[in-house]
Chain A
């Protein structure tokens, strides 16, 4: 068995015409990937695809992945949570070894990752895709206990169900408050898509109710598109309170379901508090996060600017002009996998181009997008001027319907590539 595997590895290396001295000795390099979301699962699978001889271990404690994109549809009863859930079976079948444990430490000197059960996984290169941590130290009153009463639902799963059941059991005439954070945070258009779909649900199911966004910002992603659509679709069901209108929430009182601003105390029927975020704790422990709480990386290889041989991708990383989205995470993962495979051969990765596409639904048949094309410029990923931007402000309704269909196609395609 061992012999046949070795012969297979030799044969595959020869087939790929790659000089792989490690293969000839029967042992490929070790790459550990931390985090099985869009970034990490994509990277693990893409790296195995780049070079089957690399031994790829994906560290992920959860049995199933619950996707955030489209999870606002669960809140509005347009989708079931199980449509958001995916297993790692196909990732394993692609040759990736799964370590179903949390990563508890990274030793950058010894180049190994410690798991919750004490196992140490050695690596030649480490790819960290740990996602975000919802901060319980940034908004006074908002801690882990408050998150049960005022769910953030910014990590999909139990939190999504909590918020859904609060909205579903709300009597008609209630007010749903969404607290939106300052930049940067996961999925910049997300709070506004969420408000839109909740307004859609209220308009059709609980028409005496409304949703109010209390915002720590004066501007947001796809703003004019959202605001035009709100005026058209939800004039009585959705209100946005900007920073300069007193929208910034300074503290919360979970026992009273109250949100405190400079001017007033808002008593919510349902409160959805999306607090400030930072890279997940393992990134802070590994030393790849800077004082901002996020991880600076090289824009060609996504190798950490702070610790060598560790690459950071997805929401945890500072990617210049590229937003924290699932599409971005997947695109970065493929570029990172290619760069890691190239570096392991002792070669220099080529300069990449990256694309981001973000679909938002304002209603089930009303989609809008923002896109961008990026290239490394002065040490960060910068927008390529003249490319990208949002859906045309004056596009006919037929285009909005088409973009809603493409949004669904996008979700199936992306989840198919990563988990299917």
Chain B
């Protein structure tokens, strides 16, 4: 009984997203629009578990204007390419 409880609790701890304190600067804000849970009905794509290069390339293209967006073009301009890659790696690493 206790073992099952412990295992389940650890799975929750390790399986869900990691602590914001360990994440790169800016990452905590993304989940305000990009739902961490697939249960939410939204046209905004999720970030968790996506390919790192896909996230980073999209953000860098939003920043340069190569990719059109409604709002991400304005937000991407607040981050350096290095910061974008760190955020992309962080979300890519989450299940």
Interface of A toward B, CB cutoff 8 Å: 4, 7-8, 11-12, 15-16, 46, 49-52, 327, 330-331, 334-335, 337-339, 341-342, 349-355, 357, 369, 371-373, 375, 384, 386-389, 391, 399, 402-403, 405-406, 408-410, 412-414, 416-417, 420
C-alpha spacing A337/B17, complex, angstroms: 15
Cβ contact within 8 Å between A352 and B28: yes
C-alpha spacing A384/B74, complex, angstroms: 11
Cβ contact within 8 Å between A373 and B78: yes
Residue of B nearest to A52 (CB): B13
C-alpha spacing A74/B71, complex, angstroms: 26
C-alpha spacing A357/B69, complex, angstroms: 14
Cβ contact within 8 Å between A416 and B78: no
6-22 of chain B: CB within 8 A of chain A? 6, 9-10, 13-14, 16-17, 19-21
Chain B nearest CB from A8 CB (Å) reads: 5
Residue of A nearest to B23 (CB): A338
Chain A nearest CB from B24 CB (Å) reads: 9
Task: Assign chain B's interface to a size class.
Answer: 35 or more
Q: Which B residues lie within 8 Å of A342 (CB)? A: 21
C-alpha spacing A413/B83, complex, angstroms: 24
Q: Which A residues lie within 8 Å of B76 (CB)? A: 387
Chain B nearest CB from A321 CB (Å) reads: 12
Q: Which B residues lie within 8 Å of A16 (CB)? A: 13, 19
34-55 of chain B: CB within 8 A of chain A? 34-37, 39-44
Cβ contact within 8 Å between B21 and A371: no
In the complex, besides A16-B19, A355-B75, 6 extra interface pairs with C-beta distance below 8 angstroms are A8-B6, A331-B28, A387-B77, A405-B43, A410-B44, A413-B44
Chain B nearest CB from A233 CB (Å) reads: 19
Interface centre among A338, A375, A405 (most CB of B within 10 A): A338
Q: Which B residues lie within 8 Å of A371 (CB)? A: 71, 74-75
Cβ contact within 8 Å between A412 and B42: yes
Cβ contact within 8 Å between B2 and A7: yes
Cβ contact within 8 Å between B5 and A413: no
A353-B83, A416-B35 known; A399+B75 contact, CB < 8 A: no
Residue of A nearest to B7 (CB): A11
C-alpha spacing A420/B13, complex, angstroms: 18
Residue of B nearest to A355 (CB): B29
Cβ contact within 8 Å between A409 and B78: no
A12-B13, A341-B19, A391-B70 known; A386+B28 contact, CB < 8 A: no
C-alpha spacing A416/B25, complex, angstroms: 23
Q: Which A residues lie within 8 Å of B75 (CB)? A: 355, 357, 371, 373, 387-388
Contact of A354 among B6, B29, B42 (CB under 8 A): B29
Contact of A409 among B10, B19, B42 (CB under 8 A): B42
Residue of A nearest to B29 (CB): A355
A-B contact pairs, 9 of them (CB 8 A): A4-B2, A49-B19, A354-B26, A355-B75, A388-B78, A405-B43, A410-B33, A413-B35, A417-B35
C-alpha spacing A149/B74, complex, angstroms: 42
C-alpha spacing A263/B34, complex, angstroms: 49
Q: Which A residues lie within 8 Å of B39 (CB)? A: 416, 420
Chain A nearest CB from B33 CB (Å) reads: 5
Cβ contact within 8 Å between B31 and A351: no
Q: Which A residues lie within 8 Å of B13 (CB)? A: 12, 15-16, 52
Q: Which A residues lie within 8 Å of B5 (CB)? A: 4, 8
Cβ contact within 8 Å between B70 and A12: no
Residue of B nearest to A345 (CB): B21
Q: Which B residues lie within 8 Å of A402 (CB)? A: 43, 70
Q: Which A residues lie within 8 Å of B26 (CB)? A: 352-355, 373
Q: Which A residues lie within 8 Å of B79 (CB)? A: 353, 373, 387
Chain B nearest CB from A84 CB (Å) reads: 17
Contact of B28 among A338, A375, A406 (CB under 8 A): A338
Cβ contact within 8 Å between B10 and A357: no
Chain B nearest CB from A197 CB (Å) reads: 20
Cβ contact within 8 Å between A353 and B29: yes
Residue of B nearest to A402 (CB): B70
Q: Which A residues lie within 8 Å of B43 (CB)? A: 402, 405-406, 409
Cβ contact within 8 Å between A357 and B71: yes
Chain B nearest CB from A382 CB (Å) reads: 11
Chain B nearest CB from A31 CB (Å) reads: 14
A16-B13, A413-B44, A416-B39 known; A51+B70 contact, CB < 8 A: no
